[in-house]
Amino acid sequence: MKLDFSVVDKALQLNLEGDFIGYDNPELLHKLQEALLRADVKTLSIDGKNLQKWDSTLVVILFELIKLAGEKKKDVRQLNWPRNLSKLLNLAFSVDRKPERPKQTDEGFLEEVGSFTLDVWASIQKGMNFIGQVLRSLGRLFSGKAVMRRVDWLFALEDCSYKAVGIVSLISFMVGLILAFVGAIQLKNFGAQIYVASLVAIGMTRIMGAIMVGVVMAGRTGASYAATIGTMQVNEEIDALKTMGIPVTDFLVLPRIAALTLTMPLLVILADFMGVIGGASVGIGMLGISPEEYWNYTLKALDMENFLVGLFHGLVFGIIISICGCYFGIYCGRNADSVGKATTQAVVSAIVWMIVATGIITWIFEVLGI
């Protein structure tokens, strides 16, 4: 490789000869810049007639020289350059390396309120549109036209069924134990510790079992849905499905909603049982209640109406968790940070909507006398 330069007739002339691969000579670049800055130099002339192989190291040198010539208002002449080298340098100079920051204008109070309202309305429309797509997918499922693979449904069913038994059992057992402790504190004052059994049975079967299962599954399964589908969005797999004409809600959302909606009531039954066991461990082991008395009062307190109310809550919670997880996964951004945000939003939204749904269902049942 050879790079000769000389100053002739107010022009800095560079002659490129041979191969320029892995060229690293900072001192030569410094000398070239010094020669270009001379007052008598008006033109930079680069001749690539004898240039053979080259790589990006040559491009860097030429880029710095041409950039300096432009800053000092000196002409640049390109003689016998390879076409690819010219295109690469033109591309380098076409990129705006320091884009201007958009000017931030302070909005007034009314403008901020209007912008917030429009954002909320857009979010509501997007959410309702997604729910509409899910309902249409359910219609296609019942008519036998849904593009849903049985293996996807079985995989989702496996993930949210027996694999969740351990954490649901542990949490429900501890909640039943805590309910028994809290109830015993007040009931002891009246000598009515025996009613701890009734308190735990009613509390777990009517609402607490369903709520604890909902919270656990929102953090476990809802987050998994958002992360899985969000990663597919980042990898452009969802775009590929759309390109092939496959409905995304059929292929990705429907198996997950069907699986979680089916398993949530079963997990609620498990949570009710483990909660009663947790309460019994306190009532029998610490309050001195005989096992026969505890189970008799538990059976008397168990009511089919309360049991079905708890199962209905679990069914609704399963729908909410799966929709929130899939929604934020599908509308995830295109980078890793967006996947993290989508996962967080899915869990938080699921828990908030579960509490809202609990309030609405409780009010309706209270009006109906259930």
Which pLDDT tens digit goes with each residue over 339-368? 989 999 999 999 999 999 999 999 998 888
Parallel, antiparallel, or unpaired: how do β-strands 2-8 and 43-54 relate?
unpaired
CA distance 261 to 141: 15
pTM to 2 decimal places:
0.70
Mean pLDDT of 299-308: 88
Residues in the chain: 370
| Summary mean pLDDT of the chain | 85
CA nearest neighbour of 195 among 113, 96, 294: 294
Please tell me the predicted confidence (pLDDT) of residue 102.
Answer: 67
Q: Is the pLDDT of residue 239 over 80?
A: yes
**Domain-by-domain residue ranges, the chain?**
2-94, 133-368
Listed in sequence order, the residues at least 6 apart from 254 whose beta carbon sits closer than 8 Å to its beta carbon are: 134, 137, 138, 141, 146, 148
Mean pLDDT of 95-112: 69
25 or 128, which is more confident?
128
Q: E strands within the chain?
A: 2-8, 11-20, 43-54, 75-79
Mean pLDDT of 237-254: 87
Please tell me the predicted confidence (pLDDT) of residue 319.
Answer: 93
The 10s digit of each residue's pLDDT in 262-291 is 999 999 999 999 999 999 888 888 877 888
Listed in sequence order, the residues at least 6 apart from 209 whose beta carbon sits closer than 8 Å to its beta carbon are: 172, 175, 268, 271, 272, 275, 310, 314
CA nearest neighbour of 328 among 78, 154, 50, 123: 123
Q: How far is CA 98 from CA 56, 93, 179, in A?
A: 22, 12, 62
Please tell me the predicted confidence (pLDDT) of residue 97.
Answer: 57
Say if domain 2-94 classifies as CATH 3.40.47.10.
no
Q: Could you give the 3-state DSSP secondary structure of residue 42?
A: coil
Q: First and final CA of the chain: distance in angstroms?
A: 90
Q: Is the pLDDT of residue 1 over 60?
A: no
| Residue position matching structure tokens 């993290």 | 340
The 10s digit of each residue's pLDDT in 30-40 is 877 887 787 77
Please tell me the predicted confidence (pLDDT) of residue 309.
Answer: 92
Question: What's the pLDDT band for 326 if we cut at 50, 70, 90?
Answer: very high
Q: How far is CA 196 from CA 54, 172, 181, in A?
A: 84, 16, 9
Mean pLDDT of 323-329: 92
Please tell me the predicted confidence (pLDDT) of residue 175.
Answer: 92
Q: Is the pLDDT of residue 104 over 70?
A: no
Please tell me the predicted confidence (pLDDT) of residue 348.
Answer: 94
Question: What's the pLDDT band for 242 if we cut at 50, 70, 90?
Answer: confident
The 10s digit of each residue's pLDDT in 42-101 is 888 888 777 888 787 878 888 888 888 888 888 888 778 777 888 888 887 776 556 566
Please tell me the predicted confidence (pLDDT) of residue 355.
Answer: 93
189 or 368, which is more confident?
368
Q: How far is CA 94 from CA 91, 124, 243, in A?
A: 5, 41, 32
